[in-house]
A and B are shown apart, each in its own frame.
Chain A
């Protein structure tokens, strides 16, 4: 029984020239891109000043992808990402104040200081986190898409992941479920060439990651992630298909991260300074700036936008600094739903030393 032919999985081998963004839209998106860049540059500074801790992953260089995709989301669409999340939150409309306060570990942070850099979220804006286990967010995002279908809602989910994450089993299981159940979800593979220090070709036997979609008869395509117009167009088109036809897809965006894997990584053990410098020449921010100039936006206007980003980030730092630290008497807050304290009440006898104060009397779902 020789194998029968099936129609090949659709791919965007060459979709021709991309529709241009309207100048106003492009300007708005540039505002978000520069905000993200300035925000993260400041975050690194604050990290080094020990006002931010934990793991802190920056996306400098990846802004066209982040902002282009998020802008293609409708207000009721949902977003899920890994830990490289600041830019996504800002693009989705979370205030720099709420994100910076989270990085500072303050009560006014978007997760009330409980989550930190990796676990940013903003449920009101449909951003369901901010997750730290590589590829762990994929099954979760798949479940959000399933819930949308069950609830009869015409929305879609974008699930971001890195090039390293495509080698995890969770990728495979999630894509199969999404395709089998026809779920409205776009898996955005942010290919920044490395997972920590491992290049794509050292990690993935099929380095053209978008091609893996075909293993699920799913549409896949690759886009220049530093080309804001192209990213936006692709994301918009795939999201539309997801919403309207419940067809999931893979969108691989080719980009680059300038900084190390996290703030603690110099980022030079596995690549050269030259490589980084070469990529910085093609900085998506510069590219969009030039397009805006071509659109007729003046240098003064552009400088004003940049200055505004500086101001907003400064204000965010001021806000975060002034925000209260979480109350240690609320150590267990959020862990359990209201009413849980009663369920736990009978667990007190013989408790480990300190447990009563630390958990039972510290906001445990009361």
Chain B
């Protein structure tokens, strides 16, 4: 049984202390308390900035399901369609195949097609049309289907 009150108390204890890690066991007690393992360097104002940057890892767990990301291979401006009047290459819930063009990234006046490395279904589009993207930035979240080499 999970005792919420207990957890809250433990969280408070850690929050208002100088420790960084607390492990609690049971079946005749096992407690580990750690103070400052190291810590990354953030100023307060950086934390939000950092939080905006999605993880670069192309594979990541979300809600227990396996998902993958298509990330930007270059720096430039993200476009969902080949030109302003055309329909987007793909939309949410579309199925994509390996090698299929999913978007265009414009850089130095060149239109660079980005192709999917996965078979799967588009579950999220992570960048607005016309927005700048950096190298490695996740563009689409896919639920993989079938074979993914």
A and B associate in one complex? no
